[in-house]
Amino acid sequence: MRAIQLMVLSLFGCLLCSNKQSYDSKLLVLDISNLKNDQVMALKSSNVVNWWVEAGDRILIQIPGSDKNELKSRNLPFSILEERVGLEKSELSVIRGAHINSASGLFKPVFKGGRALIVLKKDAARFLHAHAGHGHDVVVSDFEGSQVLAEKVRIDPNILLARSEWSAQQMLFAKEAMQLVDSDRWYADVQNLSQLNRHISSQDNIVARDFVASELKLIPGMKVELQEFSLGVSGRKAWNVIGTYDLSQSSKKAIFVTGHYDSISDSIGRGAPGAEDNATGAAGVIEMARVLSKMEINRKLVFIAFSGEEQGLLGSKHHVSELAPQEGDQIEYVINMDMIGYSKDLTYDVLLETSSKFKTISDKLATMASQTRLNVFRSYNPFGSDHMPYINRGIPAVLTIDNDWDDYVDYHKTTDRIDNVVKDMGWEILKMNVGTVAADSL
């Protein structure tokens, strides 16, 4: 009997120790914008840090409660933005595919970055219930500890260029193309598109389709077609607009430039202007086609404006499903633009999102971004835009999106209007994209 009592007391003591360890731990959110790559690595590998989550200029770390001063003693140039009682990994979930504003009023996330949220498990369940019926898939998984939601590219531009496979001649060609990007012309196209209710059920969606097609048809040598697809049981139809530019008849693989032109809002009857999401990207497809057609391009380029993105990537899924095996093999890569015109603080931050196996294309874009005013962030956890059907098919594809997309309070609302679009934000992303395609097309 005495032995049993001792065992119970011992077990109870262990539980108390475990709970005390969780209670005594702390979560810190640090500003790491002034850290270099090696300093970020040193911070993450510190024996003071139990686990971490990196998100660009910020990092979430769990440390024993008594070790904050020891962490400060490392003399790394970080600052503490937030501090709270520690949480264990088992208490957390990761949500991918959720805009933070869609969680507004439900809960406050523990951390966010790279189009993902770290949340309490109970909040993840609440969000899934509230999100039921939306077009985009939401993926919820257990939090497994140390991981990168988004990394900031902290490499010196000269080093990036030195590592690049591009020659000096290719870079000169790229810069010539970048100088042709007209931000006023792009902005005017965003304005024209955002005056339309481009929801898939609206007649204006067809007007927008015809606007994109007519602008592409004005480009000498551009062959334009409408690709029809079904919206399912409703019997309604929608269309992708496809422009093919292939004057060189080169044997090189094709580069695709894409972005959806449909929109959605919280009150379709009152309109769905979708200026940021995604008149900016659709207008970007048009502007890139105009610019690149003025260069001596030595490969096939394909420009696609998709519809049905807001209902679950219907247009891009259809396009990929119609590609014959040999056609998919002949695609070098896809650059997709979705929400490229917003900045909350007038700094120009871009997020490059792709699969880790297609890191090469994000490397190219990051290198070209060094010739612009962009700050580059990268994520290898792709989801929820028109790059996904290509990635799932094994075709290299990358999403270019402004890094403040998740702070855009007018997302999917009738207030997503042209006044919210920052012209220079879109201009910088377009220059990066144009330069990359040009350098690879000489």
For 50-66, the pLDDT digits (tens) are 999 999 999 999 999 76
Give CA–CA dist 402/418, Å, rounded.
16
Question: Cα 224 to the chain's mean position, in Å?
Answer: 28
Q: Which amino acid is at 440?
A: D
CATH 3.40.630.10 in the chain, residue ranges? 153-439
Domain 153-439 fold: Aminopeptidase (3.40.630)
Give CA–CA dist 395/321, Å, rounded.
12
Give CA–CA dist 408/412, Å, rounded.
10
Give CA–CA dist 388/160, Å, rounded.
27
Q: Which amino acid is at 313?
A: L
> Is the Cα dihedral 8, 14, 16, 19 positive or negative?
negative
Task: Give the 3-state secondary structure of residue 437.
Answer: helix
CATH 3.30.70.100 in the chain, residue ranges? 24-151
- pLDDT over threshold 70, residue 403: yes
Task: Give the 3-state secondary structure of residue 142.
Answer: strand
Q: For 4-8, 158-162, 190-194, 230-234, which range has the lowest pLDDT when averaged over its residues?
A: 4-8
**Distances in whole angstroms, Cα of residue 357 to Cα of each of 81, 354, 380:** 33, 8, 9
- pLDDT over threshold 50, residue 5: no
Between 359-369 and 423-439, two packed helices, what is the crossing angle to 10 degrees? Answer: 120
| Tens-digit pLDDT profile for residues 219-256 | 999 999 999 999 876 778 999 999 999 998 889 999 99
- Residue 232 has a CB neighbour count (10 Å cut-off) of 11
> pLDDT grade, residue 10 (50/70/90)?
very low
- pLDDT over threshold 60, residue 209: yes
- pLDDT over threshold 70, residue 160: yes
Task: Give the 3-state secondary structure of residue 144.
Answer: coil
| Tens-digit pLDDT profile for residues 317-359 | 999 999 999 999 999 999 999 999 999 998 999 999 999 999 9
pTM over 0.75: yes
| Tens-digit pLDDT profile for residues 108-132 | 899 999 888 999 999 988 888 776 6
> pLDDT grade, residue 20 (50/70/90)?
very low
At residue 300, the pLDDT reads 97
**Distances in whole angstroms, Cα of residue 75 to Cα of each of 44, 72, 140, 401:** 14, 6, 37, 34
- CATH (residue range 24-151): 3.30.70.100
Q: What is the 3-state secondary structure (H, E, C) of 169-229?
A: HHHHHHHHHHCCCCHHHHHHHHHHHHCCCCCCCCHHHHHHHHHHHHHHHCCCCEEEEEEEE
- Over residues 371-383, mean pLDDT: 95
- pLDDT over threshold 80, residue 15: no
Give CA–CA dist 383/379, Å, rounded.
10
- Over residues 199-204, mean pLDDT: 95
- pLDDT over threshold 50, residue 27: yes
| Beta strand spans in 71-183 (E) | 79-85, 92-96, 111-113, 116-120, 139-142, 147-152
Residue 102 or 172, more confident: 172
- Over residues 188-206, mean pLDDT: 97
